[in-house]
């Protein structure tokens, strides 16, 4: 089956599978509508890389059954199936979501995990402490994420992170949100321009290393595909990807790092939260989710290498 950039395919799944029952049930609820993203080149590789032969190579590519985020042995080819195919769902919350009815949310939601913002460009999220406490008493797996600040050193950002989010072996891998400050924040943009892209990338990687050392879990980089492609090069492949992509076509993420979490919507109606809730799926099976929670490595890349 040829796989072109941004191509869509209907997939008829085989009747039998070795996947667990919950995964098979999710896959059976709907036909597999798949968006395929082929990274034609990497920003840190020459144009003459082997990816130039992708059209020839893609003729023999088969899309795996069930929840996946890339083709085996071709992590540059990302797969986006209908969210219903992926059995493990979650949400991303912050102070922007306002007051949450936690009782209603727990009663109605089938989500497995919830990430909550710890700190943004304007300082600690005003709802974080409340969210973190409520999540501790809930049925959801909980995780926190930090918005990378171009005006502060990695060491200073880690100290803030440590003061707000205590290390907990039961929490999900920490997230690091990457946002291009251009058109978003003049102060952050000035700091970014002063440092330059090379130093910004080095600082982001340094911060990720500090986060790993403190929390003992592999961080996951969070952002839309444009922002992730803007900042990440091949050195980031040791870390996981949490990609925001709400569209139906045109997704591009350079490099060879498949997504671990996919934010497929920013306006889902979730009882207890509201009508503009950010919603995610995990790329794989129950066994892979256990590995993800342990945070020992880039579980999505390991699944296809």
pLDDT above 60 (res 98): yes
**154 has a pLDDT exceeding 50:** yes
% pLDDT > 90, the chain: 74
> Do 39 and 69 belong to one domain?
yes
Domain residues for 239? Answer: 88-304
Give the confidence band of 30 by pLDDT, cuts at 50, 70, 90.
very low
Mean pLDDT, residues 25-38 taken together: 50
pTM reported for the whole predicted model: 0.84
Distance CA 24, CA 131 (A): 33
Give pLDDT tens digits for 124-152: 999 999 999 999 999 999 999 999 999 99
Residue 33 has pLDDT above 70, yes or no: no
At 29, the pLDDT band (50, 70, 90 cuts) reads: very low
- On whether both 14 and 121 belong to a single domain, the answer is no
**Count of domains for the chain:** 2
The rounded Cα 139 to chain-centroid distance in angstroms is 21
Give first-to-last CA distance, the chain, whole Å. 20
Clarify whether residues 105 and 249 are in a common domain.
yes
pLDDT digits over 278-290, tens only? 999 999 999 999 9
User: Residues 17, 161: one domain?
Assistant: no
Q: Are residues 100 and 203 in the same domain?
A: yes
Between residues 250 and 226, which one has the greater pLDDT? 226
Give the confidence band of 228 by pLDDT, cuts at 50, 70, 90: very high
Q: How far apart are CA 109 and CA 74, in angstroms?
A: 35
Answer whether residue 1 is part of any domain. Answer: no
Q: Beta-strand (E) ranges in the chain?
A: 7-11, 32-38, 70-71, 74-80, 89-93, 113-120, 123-124, 141-147, 175-177, 220-224, 240-244, 261-270, 274-282
Choice among 3-7, 19-23, 90-94, 269-273 with the minimum mean pLDDT: 3-7
User: What does the pLDDT read at residue 38?
Assistant: 55
Whether residues 230 and 92 fall in one domain = yes
Please tell me the predicted confidence (pLDDT) of residue 63. 87
Query: Nearest-CA neighbor of 79 among 278, 233, 285, 284?
Result: 284
Examine the domain organization and report whether 159 and 229 are in the same domain: yes
62 and 132 housed in the same domain: no
Which backbone phi and psi does 33 adopt, to 5 degrees?
A: -95, 115
pLDDT value, residue 37: 65
Residues 127 and 261 in one domain: yes
Residue 237 domain flag: yes
Q: How many CA atoms lie within 13 A of 139 on its CB side?
A: 12
> Do 146 and 51 reside in the same domain of the chain?
no
Q: Let me know if residue 41 belongs to a domain.
A: yes
Q: What is the pLDDT of residue 62?
A: 82
Mean pLDDT of 256-273: 96
Full DSSP string of 3-51? --TTEEEEE---S--SS-HHHHHHHHTS-EEEEEEE----TTS-TTSGG
Q: Encoding tokens for residue 153?
A: 């050193």
Give me the chain's average pLDDT, please.
85
CB 100 within 8 A of CB 272: yes
**Residue 66 domain-assigned?**
yes
Burial-class residue 276 by CB neighbours within 10 Å (0-12, 13-18, 19+).
Answer: middle
> Average of pLDDT values for 208-218?
99
CATH code, 229: 3.20.20.80
* CB-based contacts of 273, cutoff 8 Å, min separation 6: 91, 93, 97, 100, 101, 105
Q: Considering 57, 84, 111, which residue would you say is the last residue of a domain?
A: 84
Q: What share of the chain is helix, strand, coil (3-state, %, to 5)?
A: 35, 25, 40
Out of 58, 84, 110, pick the residue that ends a domain: 84
Q: Is 290 exposed, middle or buried (0-12, 13-18, 19+ CB in 10 A)?
A: exposed
Q: What is the largest CA-CA distance in the chain?
A: 57
- The set of residues, in sequence order, having a beta carbon less than 8 Å from that of 279 and lying 6+ positions away, is 83, 89, 90, 91, 92, 263, 264, 265, 266, 268, 270
297 occurs within a structural domain: yes
Give the CA angle between residues 109, 245, 257 to the nearest 5°: 105
180 occurs within a structural domain: yes
Q: Report the 10 Å Cβ neighbour count for 168.
A: 14
Regarding whether 92 and 61 lie in a shared domain, the answer is no
- pLDDT at position 246 is 84
User: What mean pLDDT do residues 26-30 have?
Assistant: 41
Domain limit, last residue, from 38, 60, 84: 84
Shared-domain flag, residues 68 and 115: no
**254 pLDDT higher than 70:** yes
Mean pLDDT of the region 70-74: 93
Q: Tell me, what DSSP letter sits at residue 53? A: G
């Amino acid at each position: 089956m040829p796989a072109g950039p941004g191509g869509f395919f209907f997939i008829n799944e085989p009747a039998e599978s070795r996947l667990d029952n919950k995964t098979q049930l999710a896959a059976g609820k709907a036909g597999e509508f798949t968006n395929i993203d082929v990274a034609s080149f990497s920003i840190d590789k020459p144009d003459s890389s082997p990816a130039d032969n992708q059209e020839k190579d893609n003729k023999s590519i088969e899309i795996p059954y069930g929840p996946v985020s890339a083709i085996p042995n071709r992590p540059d080819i990302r797969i986006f199936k209908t969210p219903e195919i992926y059995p493990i769902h979650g949400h991303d919350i912050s102070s922007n979501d306002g007051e949450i009815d936690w009782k209603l949310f727990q009663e109605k939601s089938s989500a497995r995990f919830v990430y909550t913002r710890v700190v943004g460009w304007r300082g600690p999220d005003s709802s974080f402490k409340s969210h973190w406490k409520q999540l501790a008493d809930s049925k959801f797996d909980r995780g926190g994420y930090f918005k990378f600040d171009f005006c502060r050193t990695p060491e200073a950002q880690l100290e803030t992170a440590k003061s707000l989010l205590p290390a907990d072996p039961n929490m999900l891998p920490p997230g690091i949100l990457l946002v291009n400050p251009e058109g978003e924040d003049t102060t952050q943009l000035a700091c970014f321009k002063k440092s330059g892209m090379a130093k910004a990338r080095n600082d982001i990687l340094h911060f990720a290393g500090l986060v790993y050392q403190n929390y003992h879990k592999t961080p996951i980089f969070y952002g839309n595909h444009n922002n992730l492609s803007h900042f990440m090069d091949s050195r980031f492949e040791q870390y996981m990807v949490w990609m925001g992509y709400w569209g139906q076509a045109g997704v591009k993420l350079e490099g060879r790092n498949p997504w671990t979490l996919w934010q497929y919507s920013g306006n889902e109606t979730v009882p207890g939260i509201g009508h503009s809730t950010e919603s995610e799926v995990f790329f794989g099976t129950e066994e892979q989710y256990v590995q993800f929670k342990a945070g020992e490595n880039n579980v999505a890349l390991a699944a296809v290498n």
